Amino acid sequence: MNMEFVKKIPTAQEIIGEMPLPNHIREIKEERDIEIRKVFQNEDDKFVLIIGPCSADNEDSVCEYIGNLAKVQEKVKDSIIIIPRIYTNKPRTTGEGYKGMAHQPDLNKDPDLVEGIKAIRRMHLKALSEYHMPAADEMLYPENYAYLADMLSYHAVGARSVENQHHRFTASGLDMPVGMKNPTSGDINVMLNSIKSAQLAHSFIYSGWEIKTGGNPLAHAVLRGAVDASGKNIPNYHYEDLTYLAKEYEKQQLLNPSIIVDTNHANSMKLYKEQPRIAREVLMSRKYNSTLKKMIKGLMIESYLVEGRQEVEDGTYGKSITDPCLGWEDTEKLIYHIAENL
């Protein structure tokens, strides 16, 4: 076997014991969880924005960004629920490049997964404790969820993971909304199958245990665009795409049919400045069609303090080192525009 066993990873219980969530913060999070669930259960018509950096690469800049979001959240709280993106694992198409803070907590040092797990919990804990906005993360490694389970309010299963049985089964055991992205091929049926799987109960192996899940009725669709055989990006946020998905949702008779539209990735052709335009088009589609207004629950937006992206060695504070993001000024304008046009 061509593997080197470097060191034993501490259990989630051990890490949580080192960095527990204070009881008063736990209560604040539970209240927020109820608000978010109500949206996906059609009990509240607030709009959800899952917004933040492509990858959370620095605790200080991420928390400063979330502090900015918190100020805006107070102003739009009657119509919008903001869920900060604190994405601590980064999928890589070829396996090369920066894989997220969980993998490499210090950009100037070699990967260290034990320190990475501690770093991501510390960052989530600081953000939640200071700004009272439980975050979203991506389920790249299903077993990593346990290290953050008490602090997250939303989870996403990415385009490269959505066909994986372990991801689907793990999502079935979460008690929060889980967004299942369409695969990079754009196959909507694959996404709907993953939602159905996540909504069902399962028995499987997880973290060395045989476990049973009860199914997650809040698993839902996330449209992120597709890539064809020649590598061309194909958007799937247009009105025709949305109405088609709504009809397919009805055919499947899935619970709590909900759609989140990712405004970046293949939907924006990887042109991050297109995100405000895409958001406006989705809002218009909601206004035009009552079914879409009910079903489209929100948007995913990639945004950071400084617009664009950079190489790791450039060292600009608050600028993405993975996918390019909107800067803060444009982000703030976009959130207010959304609030005014729901």
pLDDT digit string (tens) for 5-38? 888 999 999 999 999 999 999 999 999 999 999 9
pLDDT value of residue 4: 86
Question: What is the 3-state composition of the chain as percent helix, strand, coil, each rounded to the nearest 5?
Answer: 40, 20, 40
Q: What's the rounded mean pLDDT across residues 251-279?
A: 96
Q: What angle do CA 323, 328, 331 make, to 5 degrees?
A: 85
CA pair distance 147, 325, nearest whole angstrom: 27
CATH at residue 309: 3.20.20.70
Averaged over 283-301, what is the pLDDT? 98
Is residue 239 assigned to a domain? Answer: yes
Is the residue at 332 inside a domain?
A: yes
| pLDDT tens-place string over residues 165-209 | 999 999 999 999 999 999 999 999 999 999 999 999 999 999 889
pLDDT band at 40 (very low <50, low <70, confident <90, very high): very high
| pLDDT for residue 268 | 96
Q: Does residue 3 form part of some domain?
A: no
User: Could you tell me what percent of the chain has a pLDDT over 70?
Assistant: 100
Find the distance separating the first CA and the last CA of the chain, reported in whole Å.
56
pLDDT class of 91 with cuts at 50, 70, 90: confident
Question: What pLDDT does 1 receive?
Answer: 78
104 lies in some domain: yes
Q: Has residue 243 been placed in a domain?
A: yes
Is residue 327 domain-resident?
yes
Q: What percent of the chain has pLDDT over 90?
A: 90
The mean of the pLDDT values for the chain is 95
Find the mean pLDDT for residues 204-219. Answer: 95
Query: How far, CA to CA in Å, does 341 sit from each of 68, 74, 269?
Result: 21, 18, 25
Q: How many domains does the chain have?
A: 1
In terms of DSSP bridges, do strands 203-206 and 178-181 run parallel, antiparallel, or are they unpaired?
Answer: unpaired
> Do the domain assignments include residue 5?
no
pLDDT higher than threshold 80 for residue 71 = yes
Residue 313 lies in a domain: yes
Structural domain harbouring 335: 12-340
